[in-house]
Structure 1
Amino acid sequence: MDPQLIDILVCPICKGPLEKRPTDGFLMCKADKLAFPVRDGIPIMLVEQAEPIQTSND
């Protein structure tokens, strides 16, 4: 996935920045603790498709 695209995309909930998760390529919003999938190079920015992420503080 193009790094410039990641810089442009924001979380659909809080409009915060996203980071690429190195293990599987999901785009993470740390503020909302959600990971958005990327399928065939296309980010799926639907809240219904997001997965909750666990942090080391949980």
Structure 2
Amino acid sequence: MFGFGLPELVIILAIILVVFGAGKLPEIGGAFGKSIRNFKKASEGREDIDITPKS
């Protein structure tokens, strides 16, 4: 995964924990998951709203 090993991931997680604090991590994770889900949905080309003209 991008050449990151376990020690690098632990260091990155520790830095994120210090910067944002333990209380904000679930909110950040939820927002990150929603953004990835929306990106996947948009890249598939599916539209939630039908904009075809009615004859």
Q: More helix by proportion, 1 or 2?
A: 2
TM-score normalised by the chain length of structure 2: 0.26
**Structure with higher RCO (Cα < 8 A, 6+ apart):** 1
TM-score normalised by the chain length of structure 1: 0.25
